[in-house]
Structure 1
Amino acid sequence: MTSSGTSRQHRPQAWACVLLLALGLACSRERPPPLTHEAYVWQRDWSPELSSALEKELPPELGALRVLARERSGPTRTPVDVAVDVDALARSGREVVAVMRVDGTAPLDGISLEEVAVHARAWKARGVRVRGVEVDHDCATPALTAYADWLERERTHLRDGALRLSITALPTWASSPDVKRLAAIPDDVVVQVHAVRAPSLFHPEEARRFVESWSSATGRPFRVALPTYRARLRDGTRLSAEPRDVSGFLATLRERPVPGVTGVLWFRLGHRGDVDAWSLPTLAAVVRGEPLAPRLTPRLVDAGGGTRDIVIENTGRVDADAPARLTLSGNLEVLDGVGGYAPHGASLVARTPPRLRAGERRVVGFVRGTEVTLAVP
């Protein structure tokens, strides 16, 4: 009797455990897989710094590279091939997608996917892990029907299955009745949520609306292209994709997934010589969701002859703007600035402070005197 009663008492607990286990399995099935990360290599003039970055400095989270190979732009639509360092691509070990950019104002007559497929096959023959080709065409929304017709015709060049087809897309296309048909043609779609409406570059709230709108309009898997760069408008205004803003958007995408979003494309991959793109340590920190607190250290460095250099060093992992003012104290005999800094009393002042990349060290002035100290902002 005691044994039987004990068994009955434990049955509700056992059923509760089974129910919790079932619920846990259901939740795990519904939770989308982690977002994948890839990057665009969009430089038209390849440099040793870019090749070195591909071979030695890529964050391990980047699973593939989408490389600009050919352009068709301007009124003449003259094709221009990029002199890509194919050996560096091969040594990177990453999968690669060869991209053809076609100006949004240029008609597609006389343009063929075979133009970029030729590059893809040549790279593959030299040891690159080629996955496919991509068309970057900022087509006007009213012209989407013609664009979809062109993609369907041109896809016949890839029917052997050796090359997958992807396209970039503008979120404004979501309002077109042709968008569902268009999104079904390629194997992969990348929706650009930066530099969509002038003069803005990136706003997290707007980007979220773009992603949700595309998801609702197409009902198909897609990736999201996020910015890592700064740009200057014709009137001199500088726009910047701040790591903190982009990281915040990415965090909400992870916490509140949008149906269909499978990964992120970073535009563009920076390197040590690209002052207008994030440094690779900053990109890695954003991808990993690491803290983005800047760490700028100004200090005095003996330059000999009684002179000291005034140095600012970014000892953190995030690119950051240098302080606009550096104040010194002591018996100052000579004080001067360089790189945008100018003396103002006992201070160096920059109207537009430079941005220091992660790990960068920059001399911004020099001072001569006695008992000189530098106030840390």
Structure 2
Amino acid sequence: MRFFIGWSAVVAVLLLCACERQDAAPLDQQLYVWQRQWTPAHELALKGSHGDFSTLRVLALQAFPNAGWSRARVDFALLKQDARPLIAVIRLDGQLQALDQQAVTAQILQVLADWQGQGLTPSGVEIDHDAGNARLPDYTRFLVHLRGALPANLPLSITALPAWLDSPQLPALLAAVDSSVLQVHAVSDPRRGLFDPEQARRWANAWGRVTDRPFYLALPAYGVALLPDASGAPVVESEVTLERSGERRELLADPQQLSRLAIELREDRPAHLAGLIWFRLPLANDRRAWSLSTLRAVARGDALSSQLGLTFTEHNGLQDIALRNVGNLDSAWPARITVNARGCEGADALAGYALQQTADLLTFTRLRDGRLPAGGQRAIGWARCANIDQGGSHVDP
């Protein structure tokens, strides 16, 4: 039997499909606040992130094998003023020999009580514990115990590792919590960098097939350095500088790469994926994190670009020369900058650049790598010249 469908019916079906796509809930965007010591820089960073990230996941407490318990020195007044939903993250080092259910639970409950005493109302607890697969049954029992000790209306989540996909214990582990955060960034192989978007996508799809509860992806907005140890194996240096000799190899998550992945995840979402959590809230002096401008642009799905140029500031005949980035994408320092200038009595480069001078040209050559954040500016040198053609400058990437 043959059926004939009029054009009006076809158009109605297409419009209905389009409406269904538009009505799909957008991916939630959240932030990890991972600094162990809060500083005045947090105030500006929190204000700048408020419009684009719904929830803060704040490092609250850590347990180490030898050092014991350590609390992050959080600015409670800033968090209270911020007023976004707040999840307290408890970091239990993966090298801990065992989790004492009673002792760990008591520490967590005390942190929650202390935060509440400071006027904060956490909307959840997250446990960050990099347990090996062999220890997942014990970890599951701990989570069941903790779930029973926490208020029934307080959600419990965990940070999760892709390696757990190989464990038959994973469904039971995920059933013990309300949600999970799949961490898809780490230095597993320096040759592959800090992040592999195709691998992350495969892990996310696999995770969505295992869990029947909401999960999030933890995505990188930072970099690390790799240093060799005595055997030549890489040692990771992140927020804290390590007192080690040897050449540092910098690895930085690529904003363009992460932006493409985020767009793909919005358009073709893995089952049960509820949102993205960016690691970490960048402070103005955080040398290994994206700038907040770049992070916000990636979270929004904006087109990314660096726009480098020079500024000249005159003081009694002396011109201060600075490099600026008016785009929304952090940029590497340019390799070479030239300025048309004549009649120069003196000129010099500042740290990071060297100057070569001819009769009508100043050439600044990069001596070491560095990054210029989106919206940032950096002085590169000065010159006292009879004439500087500001429109005749050129910046080579």
- Within the alignment, does 1:202 sit opposite 2:195 as a pair? yes
Q: How far apart in 2 are the matches of 1:27 and 1:15?
A: 16
Where 1:62 maps in the other structure, the secondary structure is: coil
Q: How far apart in 1 are the matches of 2:168 and 2:350?
A: 56
Query: Are the counterparts in 1 of residues 214 and 274 from structure 2 also a CA contact under 8 Å?
Result: yes
Where 1:375 maps in the other structure, the secondary structure is: strand
Q: How far apart in 1 are the matches of 2:265 and 2:215?
A: 13
- Within the alignment, does 1:347 sit opposite 2:363 as a pair? yes
Q: How far apart in 2 are the matches of 1:100 and 1:186?
A: 14
- Within the alignment, does 1:192 sit opposite 2:203 as a pair? no
Deviations 1:111-144 (A, max 9, x none): 5133233222332343324101111111112221
Matches for 1:146-225 after TM superposition, within 5 Å: 146-158=138-150, 160-195=151-186, 197-199=188-190, 200-225=193-218
Query: Are the counterparts in 1 of residues 323 and 380 from structure 2 also a CA contact under 8 Å?
Result: yes
Shift of 1:284: 1.4
Shift of 1:108: 3.2
Structure 1: unaligned runs, 5 residues or longer: 1-10
1:228 to 196, 221, 224: 221
2:286 to 274, 278, 285: 274
The number of residues matched between the two structures is 362
Q: Report the more deviating stretch, 292-301 or 106-115.
A: 106-115
Query: Are the counterparts in 1 of residues 36 and 73 from structure 2 also a CA contact under 8 Å?
Result: yes
Structure 2: unaligned runs, 5 residues or longer: 229-247
Where 2:122 maps in the other structure, the secondary structure is: strand
Q: Which position in structure 2 is the counterpart of 1:326?
A: 337
2:36 to 22, 37, 44: 44
Query: Are the counterparts in 2 of residues 72 and 78 from structure 1 also a CA contact under 8 Å?
Result: yes
1:307 to 311, 318, 323: 318
Query: Are the counterparts in 1 of residues 338 and 364 from structure 2 also a CA contact under 8 Å?
Result: yes
The TM-score normalised by the length of structure 2 is: 0.84
Shift of 1:152: 1.3
Question: Matched residues, percent identical?
Answer: 36
Q: How far apart in 1 are the matches of 2:179 and 2:134?
A: 22
Q: How far apart in 2 are the matches of 1:363 and 1:61?
A: 31
Q: Which position in structure 1 is the counterpart of 2:383?
A: 367
Q: Which amino acid aligns with 1:145?
A: P
Q: Which amino acid aligns with 1:203?
A: D
Q: Which position in structure 1 is the counterpart of 2:112?
A: 120
Where 1:298 maps in the other structure, the secondary structure is: strand
Query: Are the counterparts in 2 of residues 72 and 80 from structure 1 also a CA contact under 8 Å?
Result: yes
Q: Structure 1 147/77 Cα, relative in aligned 2: closer, same or farther at 3 Å?
A: farther
Deviations 1:281-303 (A, max 9, x none): 22211111111111121132213
Query: Are the counterparts in 2 of residues 309 and 366 from structure 1 also a CA contact under 8 Å?
Result: yes
- Within the alignment, does 1:100 sit opposite 2:90 as a pair? yes
Shift of 1:16: 2.5
Q: Which position in structure 1 is the counterpart of 2:48?
A: 57
Deviations 1:248-289 (A, max 9, x none): 110111122111111000100112222322222222111111
Query: Are the counterparts in 2 of residues 113 and 155 from structure 1 also a CA contact under 8 Å?
Result: no
Q: Which amino acid aligns with 1:326?
A: I
The TM-score normalised by the length of structure 1 is: 0.88
Q: Structure 1 171/338 Cα, relative in aligned 2: closer, same or farther at 3 Å?
A: same
Query: Are the counterparts in 2 of residues 230 and 239 from structure 1 also a CA contact under 8 Å?
Result: yes
Q: How far apart in 1 are the matches of 2:293 and 2:321?
A: 25
Deviations 1:286-325 (A, max 9, x none): 1111111111211322133x32111011222222223121
Q: Which position in structure 2 is the counterpart of 1:376?
A: 394
Shift of 1:369: 2.3
Q: How far apart in 2 are the matches of 1:173 and 1:183?
A: 11
Q: How far apart in 1 are the matches of 2:350 and 2:292?
A: 26
Q: Which position in structure 1 is the counterpart of 2:137?
A: 145
- Within the alignment, does 1:80 sit opposite 2:92 as a pair? no
Q: How far apart in 1 are the matches of 2:117 and 2:213?
A: 33
Q: Structure 1 23/52 Cα, relative in aligned 2: closer, same or farther at 3 Å?
A: closer
Q: How far apart in 1 are the matches of 2:281 and 2:43?
A: 11
Query: Are the counterparts in 1 of residues 333 and 366 from structure 2 also a CA contact under 8 Å?
Result: no
Q: Which amino acid aligns with 2:98?
A: L
Q: How far apart in 2 are the matches of 1:244 and 1:327?
A: 28
Where 2:368 maps in the other structure, the secondary structure is: coil
Q: Which position in structure 1 is the counterpart of 2:270?
A: 258
Q: How far apart in 1 are the matches of 2:327 and 2:99?
A: 50
Where 2:86 maps in the other structure, the secondary structure is: strand
- Within the alignment, does 1:243 sit opposite 2:259 as a pair? no
Q: How far apart in 2 are the matches of 1:291 and 1:277?
A: 19
Q: How far apart in 1 are the matches of 2:29 and 2:165?
A: 24
Superposition CA RMSD, Å: 2.5
Q: Which position in structure 1 is the counterpart of 2:244?
A: none
Q: Structure 1 108/240 Cα, relative in aligned 2: closer, same or farther at 3 Å?
A: same
Q: How far apart in 2 are the matches of 1:299 and 1:31?
A: 46
